[in-house]
Amino acid sequence: MRRRLIMLAAITTLVSTVLLAVPLALYGRHAYLEEADQSAISRAHLLRTVLSECDSHDQLGVFKRLRQDKADGTEAAVFLQPRKTVGSKLPWTAAVDKAFKGKTSVQAVGRNEAAFTPATTADGHNAVVAVMVDTSPQWRSIHRLWASIAAAVLLLPLLAVGLTDRLGRTIVRSLDQLVVAAGSLTSGHLTTRVEPGGPAETQRLGEAFNALAERIEDLIVAEREAVADMSHRLRTPVTALMLQAESLKDAAESTRMLETTRRLQRQISFIIEQARKPADERQRSPIADLAAAVAERLDFWSPLADEQNRTCTLHVTGRHHPVQVCPIELAAAIDVLLENIFVHTPEGTAMRVAVRPRQPNGAELVVEDDGPGFGDVDVAARGISTRGSSGLGLDIVHQLAQRSGGSLKVGGCASGGARIEVRFGGPVAVEVSPGDQARRRAAWNLHDGTATRR
């Protein structure tokens, strides 16, 4: 902004100075040359008086009188009829003919000024007296004036730039502080404040910014505590579920219920922990293996798939699939995608899951089913649902993908069912745990990257 102000001041001052300097330079030239013209006319009138005492036939006498009355820096001549010139060799121009008709005029001869005035000799013949004045002193003065004007044209914009820079610093400094503070507030540093300074307008802007930051901090802190409180209240029913799961007589069913309940408890603890973290710390997500996470969640859903007679195929391309996503959030997102199939498609509907790496980093998750599909509804929009749910599931997945640097795409597959592509961003370089790879392959018994469970 300061550069714009300086440039605007320089251009405005330069244009204003030029608009003033050009007429001033022309007027100065006219004034100095007008002085030479008046000097030439005065000298011509004086010589006209001298010529009135000379006979037109006595050219020698006329010449002597011209030499006697010659002034420094002037040239004088007398024009007689028929086209005779006595004195300096001045050209016979239209100004001479005009003077013979009784009109005094001034004409430039080279860089000098010459005055032509009508006169009468002692014997009554018409003549013209011409006096040429050397204008070298005037031109030197004109050149000095023009140099001064040129210096002013150059110096005034520089002076304006300096003054604008000094005056603009107070404004721009305050605005720069506001920009830095706004960027810091955007990054999640809610305690960021500015010291109001500069003109009254920027001071009021700084005070308004501080008030806004305080209000945002209060609202976010209140929201965090509300989310933490609500999540904390869920711990009591979850604990009750764990006690009931432990009391089940079927050991396998009890183990499965306990694992599900513990996972729910971990999710609640994660929500409470994340809600009380500053925003900048929440954005630093750890790294997860997408293929291992998908295999783990498919293992969780596989008993229900067996019960509903669903065919589930997992296809993994490549060996490494690191994504910049918190493992707990990634597992929740995968559950959302799988749950949609179990809830919104008839029993026996087949589903296919694919995991493949992205270039230059990250991985992609594709979930397809042979159900009725989504139709024309934008199910990825927050709060949009066609079957009575909250409509937040796919939006949560979408936001998670965006935070990692990826995206979400919803469409249809060749069978007419739904197809969801989730692209997750990943780190530039990462070492994938061999244990995750081994566990994933053992769980799904992968061969050539493809596995099928019923």
Q: Is the pLDDT of residue 366 over 90?
A: yes
Q: How confident is the model at residue 156 (pLDDT cuts 50, 70, 90)?
A: confident
What share of the chain in percent tops pLDDT 90? 10
Q: Is the bond into 82 cis (omega within 30 degrees of 0)?
A: yes
Residue appearing with tokens 């949009």: 384
Per-residue pLDDT at 50? 76
Strand partners, 312: 351, 453
Residue 59: what pLDDT? 60
Domains of the chain: 2-139 (3.30.450.160), 190-284 (1.10.287), 288-453 (3.30.565.10)
- Eight-class DSSP state of 381: S
Mean pLDDT of 305-321: 89
The CA distance from 361 to 406, in Å, is 10
Q: Are 302 and 339 in contact (CB under 8 A)?
A: no
Alpha-helical segments (H) within 345-425: 393-403
Can you give the pLDDT at residue 29?
Answer: 82
H or E element that contains 151: helix 136-186
* 432 pLDDT higher than 50: no
β-bridge mates for residue 120, sequence order: 126
Q: What is the DSSP letter of 447?
A: B
Average pLDDT score over residue span 349-357: 93
**More confident: 128 or 448:** 128
154 falls in which pLDDT band (50, 70, 90)? confident
* Residue 364 confidence (pLDDT): 93
Per-residue pLDDT at 365: 94
Residue 101: per-residue pLDDT = 85
Q: Is the pLDDT confidence value at 77 over 50?
A: yes
- Stretch 166-175: mean pLDDT, rounded? 74
Residue (of 357, 336, 359, 362) closest to 424 by Cα position: 362
Neighbours of 309 (CB within 10 A): 11
Taking the C-alpha atoms of residue 138 and residue 144, their distance in angstroms, rounded to an integer, is 10
Going by C-beta distance under 8 Å and a sequence separation of 6 or more, which residues neighbour residue 196?
A: 174, 202, 203, 204, 205, 206, 207, 210
**In which band, very low, low, confident or very high, does the pLDDT at 231 lie, cut at 50, 70 and 90?**
low
pLDDT for res 408: 93
Residue with tokens 């999640």: 188
Q: Point out the least confidently predicted range of 166-175, 226-235, 282-291, 404-413.
A: 226-235
Summarize pLDDT for 252-291 with one digit per residue, the tens.
777 777 777 777 777 667 666 665 566 555 555 578 899 9
Q: Is the pLDDT assigned to residue 416 strictly greater than 80?
A: yes
Question: When comparing pLDDT for 246 and 308, which is higher?
Answer: 308
pLDDT at 337 (0 to 100): 92
Q: Among the listed ranges 10-14, 112-116, 395-399, which one has the minimum average pLDDT value? A: 10-14
Flag whether pLDDT at 424 surpasses 90. yes
pLDDT, one tens digit per residue, over 88-147 is 777 888 888 888 888 888 888 877 888 888 888 877 788 888 888 877 888 888 889 889
Predicted local confidence at residue 453, as pLDDT: 45
Q: How confident is the model at residue 423 (pLDDT cuts 50, 70, 90)?
A: very high
**Residue 412 φ then ψ, to 5°:** -120, 160
Arithmetic mean of pLDDT, 419-433: 75
Q: Which tokens in the block code for residue 301?
A: 């859903």
Q: According to the model, what pLDDT value does residue 430 have?
A: 45
Q: Report the mean per-residue pLDDT for the chain.
A: 78
In this prediction, residues 73-84 reach a mean pLDDT of: 79
Average pLDDT over residues 34-55: 78
Helix (H, G, I), strand (E, B) or coil at 190: coil
Percent of the chain with pLDDT over 70: 77
pLDDT at 292: 92
Identify the weakest region by mean pLDDT among 175-179, 375-379, 413-417.
375-379
pLDDT at 97: 83
pLDDT at residue 380 in the model:
54
Q: Which residue has the higher pLDDT, 380 or 331?
A: 331
Comparing 168 with 428, which gets the higher pLDDT? 168
